[in-house]
Structure 1
Amino acid sequence: MKKWISLSLVALLLTGCEKLDSEIAQLKKNEEETVIKVKTVNAYTVEPNQDALTTEVSGVVSPRQELALSFGTSGRIAQILVQKGAVVKAGQTLATLDTAALQQGINAAQGQVASANIRRSKAAQGPEAHELQTQRLQVEKAKQTAAKAEQEHAQAQALYAGGAISKDELDRLALADRQAKLDLQEEEVAYGKLLKGADRLDVEEANAQVQQANVELSRAKQEAADAVLKAPFSGIVAAIPQAQSEQTGPGSEVIRLVDTSSWLIKLQVESEQISSWQPGAAITVKAQDGTEAEGKVTFVSPVMDQALGSYPVEVTVAGSEVNWKGGMTVTCQYAREGKEAALVPVSSVGISEEENYVLKIQDNTVKKTPVKLGAIHGTFYEVLEGLEAGDQVVGSGLSYLVDGEAVKVADE
């Protein structure tokens, strides 16, 4: 009997110990799960930067000049004198049109100019001697005709008074008398005009004809000049879209010419940084292939581009220093002087409702803190407001955290 009671007691004790062990294990598991739920974050301690700050802005490389060249007139392409990749000088002939018809136009215009000049010279000199003699004879002839008509009219009046002729015959002779007198007046006026010399109106008309002829000649010569395609600047032939013997016209690209003597980089600089960009300042320009060159700020816009909300800036790099190509993306680094600034990693800054923020770490808890940013310097933002030296912020992974969440700092 005693043996049975002892065995029951032992069994009961064993059962209680197993239950206690199970509860202890569950407590440990719950504790471990609670620890696991606290996220581990990298922290960054804000310290004032005492080194020179570097502003970085990316831009795209473009040649100093790039121009699509076309003829100024229509015609058939007679010659293309260059190939793609050729280096040409300013004023060099690149292509020509068939100028046979254009030359005929020049010849015709030159003939018109010569004729107009002859007419002008003749008008300026006045009538020649034989013209005066001819007109004088015309006057004498008109006088004789008028005298004869007057005599016949007088005789007719006497005959009509005697009833020898009719009234119609008298009227006919009277009309002939008046017409003869008018013809004499016209011939005398013409003779007097010749005696005065050159006529002003004739000279002015001749001058106008010469001017018009010269305009036509200039137009013909310009068309011939437009049929010759010359390089407006020194550069490299980048493309030749048309071929010899093709028909072309004004505005139709024949050759594309680029000037790589220098490269132009167009930037858009934020308003917080624009005060640091000054014309003439030296800039370090780095390409993605690792090459770099020294550039110079050649233009800073005095007004903001309202569409982009930033200021256009241009940087020029000598083409002899680099082997770049148009369209490459480069980074312009501008070392600027300024007061000490607090910097935080770019990865530690978030944006919410058009406001920048960081997650400040206080008592192992993150707090969403709005900040005002300045310029970007490499992989760091300049913080103008919102943080002080000594503050700790989450270094990265902001999207995985919420305001007020408990965290564990791993390192800085």
Structure 2
Amino acid sequence: MNRSAWMASLTVLALLAGGCAREAATAPRAEAARPVKTAVVTAGSPVESRSFPGVVEAATETRLAFRVGGPVVALEVGMGERVARGQVLARIDPRDYRVRVRALEAALAEARAQAKALREGARAEDVAALRAERTAAASRLEEARTNWERYRRLLAEGVVAQAAVDRARTAYDAARAALEALDRNLEKATSGGRPEDLEAMDARIDRLEAELAAARNALADTELRAPFDGVVRDTLVERHETVAPGQPVVSLFQDGRPEVTVRVPEAIAAHPERIAGVVCTVEALPGRRFEAEVKEVGRGTGAANQGYPLTVAVRIPDGVVLQPGMAASVTLALRNPSAEGAVRVPLAAVAADPQGRSRVFRFDPSTSTAVPVPVRTGAVHGGEVEILDGLTPGDEIVTAGARFLRPGQPVRRLGR
């Protein structure tokens, strides 16, 4: 090949190469697939679960106190100790209360003896003595009457002065009064006391019996006893400390069946009949689930945005101990018949089209593209929304980032 032919060949090759380069520069570049999360739509369940945090509490807990005051002479229990119903927990000094009981017992015995004497009358020898004394008094009265009449005749004859007659009259009046007093005493001795005296004595006995009962109760209250089987949470006073009536001395709780109180929203508090089941878990016992039942639902929130108190009683098997204060979680199984067959999707799966209408993107596995699907939304449940129309169970949709997609955009599933 000569030089000219060789140069011509080079020129042709250069032209061909330039044309290919221009064609490659002007050809459209393939769009990269956007990674997305997807999920398969399933039909809704008629029962949904909601969990709420709480704290284990004792079913019964009380701060016990003496009903009477005084210095504490004995504390019979300590923190964490198990006690039986009726067991003595603490004592205060009983001496003053014993003295009060004995004094009232003596006063009551005296009053009863006096009442018996009033009803039965005096003894026979006392009655005989009164009758003898009355006989003597009657004789003295007759003698005084005779003297008074004699002095009156002598005054009429001018033999004695008026003063002598007056002295005789005074002696007669005194003798008559003495006889009348003896007659009353004799009547009382033979027939008993007057009705009003007996009523007054009976009233006194009733008062003393009531005071004695109160004093005996006060004496018994110097011992503080456990009202139920339980565990001592704490002792609140020291020995030799003087306590007032009603001052807490021992904190006691019943550990037979613990409770957990949680805060629930208004929709649950207003319809407790929706609760189909309750399960409780405790952080200190991972992997253990305890059946429970609703004990009560409060009617007040206590403060804004706090929810309504719901208390559940936890069934615990033998050998398991749940201490008050343990962190717990209560899971409620809630009936929701309207949700049966309904479709729910994450809120992030729903976006708005240019006209403001709701839509989701369905993943098309044949083309690996995002296909927009208009939907009609319903109620929102936590982080999900009901889809009333547009989707059916089995559809695979984009669950996050839908608002950044455009119709027909190539996508690929994350993790595949």
Give the TM-score normalised by structure 1.
0.71
Q: CA deviation at 1:211?
A: 2.7
2:405 to 386, 392, 408: 408
SS in 2 for 1:316: strand
Cα deviation 1:210-252 (Å, max 9, x = unaligned): 3333333222222221111111111111111222222222222
1:361 to 335, 348, 352: 352
Compared CA separation, residues 90 and 99, structure 1 to 2 (3 A): same
Find the aligned partners of 2:109 and 2:275 in 1 and give their Cα distance: 58
Find the aligned partners of 1:388 and 1:60 in 2 and give their Cα distance: 42
Q: CA deviation at 1:285?
A: 1.0
Find the aligned partners of 1:189 and 1:217 in 2 and give their Cα distance: 36
Letter in 1 for 2:233: A
1:293 to 289, 294, 313: 289
| Structure 2 residue aligned with 1:283 | 278
Structure 1 residues 220-259: aligned runs within 5 Å? 220-259=215-254
Letter in 1 for 2:295: F
Determine whether 1:272 maps to 2:267: yes
Compared CA separation, residues 48 and 244, structure 1 to 2 (3 A): same
| Structure 2 residue aligned with 1:325 | 323
Find the aligned partners of 1:70 and 1:393 in 2 and give their Cα distance: 66
Q: CA deviation at 1:192?
A: 2.5
SS in 1 for 2:248: coil
| Structure 2 residue aligned with 1:262 | 257
SS in 1 for 2:54: strand
SS in 2 for 1:170: helix
SS in 1 for 2:77: coil
Tell me, yes or no, if the aligned pair for 1:46 and 1:388 is still in contact at 8 Å: no
| Structure 2 residue aligned with 1:8 | none
| Structure 1 residue aligned with 2:181 | 186
SS in 2 for 1:273: helix
Cα deviation 1:6-37 (Å, max 9, x = unaligned): xxxxxxxxxxxxxxxxxxxxxxxxxxxxxxxx
SS in 1 for 2:228: coil
Tell me, yes or no, if the aligned pair for 1:127 and 1:198 is still in contact at 8 Å: no
| Structure 1 residue aligned with 2:78 | 83
Find the aligned partners of 1:59 and 1:264 in 2 and give their Cα distance: 10
Cα deviation 1:352-400 (Å, max 9, x = unaligned): xxxxxx96332597979996445x5xxx4565xx864539999679xxx
Compared CA separation, residues 157 and 108, structure 1 to 2 (3 A): same
Find the aligned partners of 2:36 and 2:133 in 1 and give their Cα distance: 123
Find the aligned partners of 2:109 and 2:84 in 1 and give their Cα distance: 38
Compared CA separation, residues 67 and 211, structure 1 to 2 (3 A): same
Find the aligned partners of 2:327 and 2:390 in 1 and give their Cα distance: 36
RMSD value, Cα: 4.0
Give the TM-score normalised by structure 2.
0.70
Compared CA separation, residues 293 and 261, structure 1 to 2 (3 A): farther
Find the aligned partners of 1:250 and 1:86 in 2 and give their Cα distance: 24
Tell me, yes or no, if the aligned pair for 2:121 and 2:192 is still in contact at 8 Å: yes
Tell me, yes or no, if the aligned pair for 1:269 and 1:313 is still in contact at 8 Å: yes
Q: Percent identity?
A: 20
Determine whether 1:343 maps to 2:344: yes
| Structure 2 residue aligned with 1:111 | 106
| Structure 1 residue aligned with 2:141 | 146
Tell me, yes or no, if the aligned pair for 2:82 and 2:231 is still in contact at 8 Å: yes
Tell me, yes or no, if the aligned pair for 1:359 and 1:393 is still in contact at 8 Å: no
Tell me, yes or no, if the aligned pair for 2:257 and 2:315 is still in contact at 8 Å: yes
Compared CA separation, residues 189 and 100, structure 1 to 2 (3 A): closer
Find the aligned partners of 1:329 and 1:361 in 2 and give their Cα distance: 42
Find the aligned partners of 2:316 and 2:76 in 1 and give their Cα distance: 26
Compared CA separation, residues 167 and 158, structure 1 to 2 (3 A): same
Find the aligned partners of 2:300 and 2:259 in 1 and give their Cα distance: 19
SS in 2 for 1:257: strand
Q: CA deviation at 1:104?
A: 2.6
Tell me, yes or no, if the aligned pair for 1:361 and 1:393 is still in contact at 8 Å: no
Find the aligned partners of 2:258 and 2:38 in 1 and give their Cα distance: 42
Compared CA separation, residues 117 and 186, structure 1 to 2 (3 A): closer
Find the aligned partners of 2:86 and 2:264 in 1 and give their Cα distance: 38
Compared CA separation, residues 243 and 406, structure 1 to 2 (3 A): closer
Find the aligned partners of 1:90 and 1:316 in 2 and give their Cα distance: 22
1:210 to 188, 205, 216: 205
SS in 2 for 1:148: helix
Compared CA separation, residues 41 and 126, structure 1 to 2 (3 A): farther
Find the aligned partners of 2:239 and 2:254 in 1 and give their Cα distance: 24
Letter in 1 for 2:351: K
Tell me, yes or no, if the aligned pair for 1:262 and 1:320 is still in contact at 8 Å: no
SS in 1 for 2:86: coil
Counting matched residue pairs gives 352
Find the aligned partners of 2:81 and 2:46 in 1 and give their Cα distance: 48
Q: CA deviation at 1:274?
A: 4.3
Compared CA separation, residues 130 and 373, structure 1 to 2 (3 A): farther
